[in-house]
Structure 1
């Protein structure tokens, strides 16, 4: 009799241990493309009758690459939310994005992340011109991973050391760089050695400082004059919110409008390898025409960069003796 009681006690113990906390469910959205609601800060993935939601501020997705090993991190809380839902029918974007979502199908199960960290690694999406080797940034890809996250679900908590949400991508038109082949030396002062190319709200300018007299000497060249982009020879691209002119750069202090939207600076070059300024000079009437090329120049903003290609023609301008 004692033996029977012992066996029954053991069975009851084992049964008691098999509670909801030990039930492990698998959710996998790795093959699903992430989308964003147009009117809400919600990134979502839909798979038949399931939906995975990430609610974080849109400002999190900055247009800048993250450094290796330094992802953007957000603590899961009342502002930064992760939710998994299961429905009793095929779900669609209309069940999450509208101000008043569709009432059907109905949610049959919901998991809410109660703690953990959201890690986001951003990478620039680029296109490359097969002929010039110039690159353009057309968007950013954000790889999202949840670390040490716990979901509260109906059958009890379920934790993951690493839970892969996946990729979310944005796209936009690349910088226009719609300049013609005519540039102008700054008219701010005789000693101002900046050379500008303007187009609407875009400006691309070269500042060679004390090297101006050498690079743009009034003498015909048989081989191009060259210089390397560095702390003295600076190349900058700026984009403003409205049209810009040379007069803007001559005003001190700088006017508050137009507002600067983006600034990209050329990366320091390597002799005979990259970041090369090349000037060829010919005669034009009674003056001299200087044609400026940039060879293998890279422009940088924070952690992002793109290249102008093997040979970018900045433009030309005329000086008189």
Structure 2
């Protein structure tokens, strides 16, 4: 039988119920010095439990954020704190509170809850999805071109009221904090182990370079390649974009990337190689350096094209303002037959 988890289930599992019926003795709930929001786990009921700790105090938010924020094209979502599906609670313990007191079932016997007050139904939980970027932007082709991404939920509580008997604490706007819910690295390792350019392959009018679970794709026609030695610069544009993709698993091949704009189908729907990052660039330059090969013996020389990318501005799909700049990147090489 399928299990359905409700707020009441989470409250039970993680001990989010008051152990004391006493009146709230504070007229202010101040966690402003604690900006980082923790999460009990990445999966299951614990994924719905977000909290902040300060000495003997805890501030606990229960919200199914992975469901509320599942549409990545939406950056801000408002959800009602109704006390049933989404809740907010302040707690005070009789000793210093640790993570285990919030996330362990059964919770430790000490410290114990001496006071608790729930936010009254009707407040609004506003969540903004943010992405922090750490970009290694090099000026040399060889080196670490990686980009670190930290995905974050930034929580703000609007028009919230904590009522306990005759005690009422109201806030028009209460910043709750930021939770780092996922991290990822775009490696951009498109050089061989000896720092030479990888061999690229054609797929229709696309040229694809692969590395581990990453792919970059360029639109280049046969007429774009020089017929003599020299350098040719082609600007990226809306009709000639550069695409970067990263998949959940390694082992991708040229045909899979060429034929599938999204996930790569597996033997079963559950076995799909999921597309986890999709970025594109319409600003930047494709630089093609062409030279003749120097074959031994009686072989005819051929044109070798080496492609690099310069001054590229990547933008994440579904995001209008999430970008990073790369001064130079390797793309690949091939010998024209």
Assess same fold via TM > 0.5: yes
Q: How does 1:72-111 map to 2 (within 5 A)?
A: 72-77=77-82, 78-111=84-117
Match of 2:174 in 1: 163
How far is the alpha carbon of 1:295 from its aligned partner? Answer: 1.4
Aligned pair in 2 of structure 1 residues 45, 97: CA closer, same or farther (>3 Å)?
Answer: same
RMSD: 2.9
Deviations 1:58-96 (A, max 9, x none): 4146696976xxx32111121111110011222111211
Q: Hey, what does 2:254 align to over in structure 1?
A: 246
Q: For the Cα contact (< 8 Å) 1:65–1:123, is it kept in 2? A: no
1:116 to 103, 115, 123: 123
1:215 aligns with 2:229: no
SS for the counterpart of 2:186 is coil
Find the aligned partners of 1:35 and 1:143 in 2 and give their Cα distance.
12
Would you say 1:234 and 2:246 are equivalent positions?
A: no
Q: Distance in 1 between matches of 2:81 and 2:102?
A: 20
Corresponding residue for residue 139 of structure 1 = 150
TM-score, normalised to structure 2's length? 0.74
TM-score, normalised to structure 1's length? 0.77
Unaligned residue ranges in structure 2 (runs of 5+): 1-22, 192-196, 267-271, 295-300
Point out where structure 1 has 5 or more consecutive residues left out of the alignment: 1-20, 270-274
Offset, 1:261: 1.8
Alpha-carbon distance in structure 2 between the residues aligned to 1:315 and 1:92: 51
Residue 198 of structure 2 corresponds to residue 182 of structure 1: yes
**In the alignment, is the contact (CA less than 8 A) between 1:298 and 1:307 conserved in 2?**
yes
CA contact (8 A) 2:146 2:185 kept: no
Structure 1 CA distance for aligned equivalents of residues 148 and 213 of structure 2: 19
Alpha carbons of structure 1 residues 138 and 250: separation in structure 2 relative to 1, 3 Å: closer
Tell me which residue corresponds to 1:35. Answer: 38
Give the superposition deviation at 1:281.
0.9
Q: Matched residues in 1 for 2:149 and 2:32: separation?
A: 24
Deviations, residues 219-260 of structure 1 (Å, cap 9, x unaligned): 111xx3122222321221222344221232566999623433
How far apart in 1 are the matches of 2:56 and 2:261? 60
| Cα separation, 2, equivalents of 1:63 and 1:92 | 33
Show the counterpart of 2:11: none
Q: 1:265 to 1:214 in 2, by over 3 A?
A: farther
SS of equivalent to 1:91: coil
**Cα separation, partners in 2 of 1:251 and 1:61, compared to 1, 3 Å:** closer
The change in CA–CA distance for 1:165 and 1:61 in structure 2 (over 3 A counts) is same
